[in-house]
Homo-oligomer: A and B are copies of this chain.
Amino acid sequence: MVAKKQTLKIDRKVLSSAGLRMTNQRALILDIIRHRHLDADEVYRQARDKQPRLSLSTVYRTLRRLKELDLVDELHFGEAHHHYEVKPPAEHHHLVCLGCGKIVEFECSLCPQMKKEIAHRKGFEVARVEVQMTGYCSKCRQGRE
Interface residues of A (CB under 8 A from B): 74, 76-78, 80-82, 95, 97-98, 104, 106, 108, 110, 113-115, 117-119, 121-138, 141
Contacts and interface: CB of A to CB of B under 8 A. Distances in A.
Contacts of A123: 137-138
B137 A133 contact: no
A131 B113 CA distance: 13
Copies in the complex: 2
A110 to B, nearest CB: 5
Nearest to A134: B128
B81 A80 contact: yes
Nearest to A67: B78
Contacts of A141: 125
